[in-house]
Amino acid sequence: MDQARLRKFVHGLWDDEVVPTLFEYIRIPNKSPAFDPDWARHGYMDDAVAMFARWAEGKIAAIPGARLDVVRLDGRTPVILIEIPGEGNDRVLLYGHLDKQPEMTGWAEGYGPWTPVIRGERLYGRGGADDGYALFGALAAIGALREQGISHAPAVILIEACEESGSYDLPYYVEHLAARIGHPSLVICLDSGCGNYDQLWLTTSLRGMFAGTLTVRVLEEGVHSGDASGIVPSSFRLLRQVVSRIEDEVTGEIRLPELHVQIPPQRIEQAKRAAAALGEQVSAKFPFAGGTQPMSRDLVQLILNRTWRPQLAVTGMAGLPDPANAGNVLLPYSTAKLSLRLPPTLKAAEAARAVRRLIEQDPPAGADVSFQPAGDPNDGWHAPTEAPWLQAALERASQAAFGRPAAYMGEGGSIPFMAMLGARFPEAQFVITGVLGPHSNAHGPNEFLDIPTGKKVTEVIAHVLADHLQRPAVTA
């Protein structure tokens, strides 16, 4: 591998084609179906798929035997499947998604979810980093190898359009396309994060999750607070009591033993090394308001909180009027959207049942308490031990692209596809990485793609694909 030549190819392609295409992609409000139930009628998802397919077809046109299909199953979001011939009998699967989170409030002046803006070396707008760049990075890496005449194994690129909704369509496509996907020996996912922009970060685990809507109802209709308070219990106070069954309101610790697991020793050691590499940026990367303090001063514990311990977030509320329009009324009900992140090795369905039992048993003050799950619980994912060839390849790639050693850390988010693939292909090796670093704010306001990191991750993937083909044969 000529590193200078690789860098010239990758940077040129990113500057001339990838960034301009992502700029236009950001303009498309192709929200994931959970946030746009009428996605098919609106047509934005089809627009994004067509844009990606046009660009990709231009890149594979000169590759004999390469094939691109937009696959559509009835009533489901489409997927893009690209097959690229290579040497040997092994296969590599490269994964990404193109659906987006909703708008979210709080964008800075001049910025917006569907308003692409380049400031310095950052491309702002929804979806560029999460996860629009993945298709471009995968094809750019393969193109860079072919430009140098370097062989790689047959590659399959799969881009879905339902990830931000929990990938509920994807199992049907994996089954439908099983013969074309084959049994990959290496899976590369470009939908994860990075602890900083200075080195390659590999994701060793992903948390599972489940969500649902908790409602506590005390009245059939609102009544005058002067008449009812002191007689009718506050629905918000009772809701707060129910939530406190799950979470200690002082420490934030999850109370249910069923939601905790023993953290593997090697992940604790990796957390220590990650804390040493990141320092105060473990918490300082977040935009704390006022004098708000992180949940611990111990950086290692913060990393483990984020990656291996269950955590609760209240992500929405209903039943509470806007303060400007709030009269002196005792509210009939309070509703909270609960999102629970779960340890990577915990069975999400069992955790969901335990939480629901705890919520609905013995309702406080006899109130009407209900919990409505939001979709199916998603299991987390724990990476298998890296093969020696892959460890060496990742180290070489990080040094070549970033000039620093690779770092390893779990991620607090979820990629449902990884758990699915881990179960389906237990012998496969996994490379999970991404560009979502400090302040990139995926899902929130002012999301951005750090363009230099996207280029370097592309270089890394090219190195790994080359080394994968040359790895020592596995003997029984």
pLDDT (tens digit, 9 = 90+) per residue, 33-50? 999 999 999 999 999 999
> Residue 113 corresponds to which amino acid?
P
Interval 236-243 mean pLDDT: 97
> Residue 261 corresponds to which amino acid?
V
62 CB contacts (<8 Å, ≥6 apart)? none
pLDDT at 375 over 90: no
Decide if 181 is inside a domain.
yes
Q: H or E stretch including 419?
A: helix 416-424
H helix intervals, 229-298: 235-246, 265-278, 281-284
Give the pTM.
0.89
Which pLDDT score is estimated for 474? 56
Regarding whether 173 and 30 lie in a shared domain, the answer is: yes
Interval 61-68 mean pLDDT: 96
- 418 lies in which domain range? 3-206+380-470
Interval 246-262 mean pLDDT: 96
Of 323, 351, 373, the last residue of a domain is: 373
pLDDT at 475 over 50: no
Average pLDDT along the chain: 95
Which pLDDT score is estimated for 476? 39
Regarding whether 173 and 125 lie in a shared domain, the answer is: yes
Interval 94-111 mean pLDDT: 97
Distances (CA, A) of 456 to 70, 123, 259: 28, 16, 37
Regarding whether 219 and 129 lie in a shared domain, the answer is: no
Regarding whether 218 and 81 lie in a shared domain, the answer is: no
Interval 460-471 mean pLDDT: 96
Decide if 456 is inside a domain.
yes
Which pLDDT score is estimated for 126? 98
Regarding whether 327 and 438 lie in a shared domain, the answer is: no
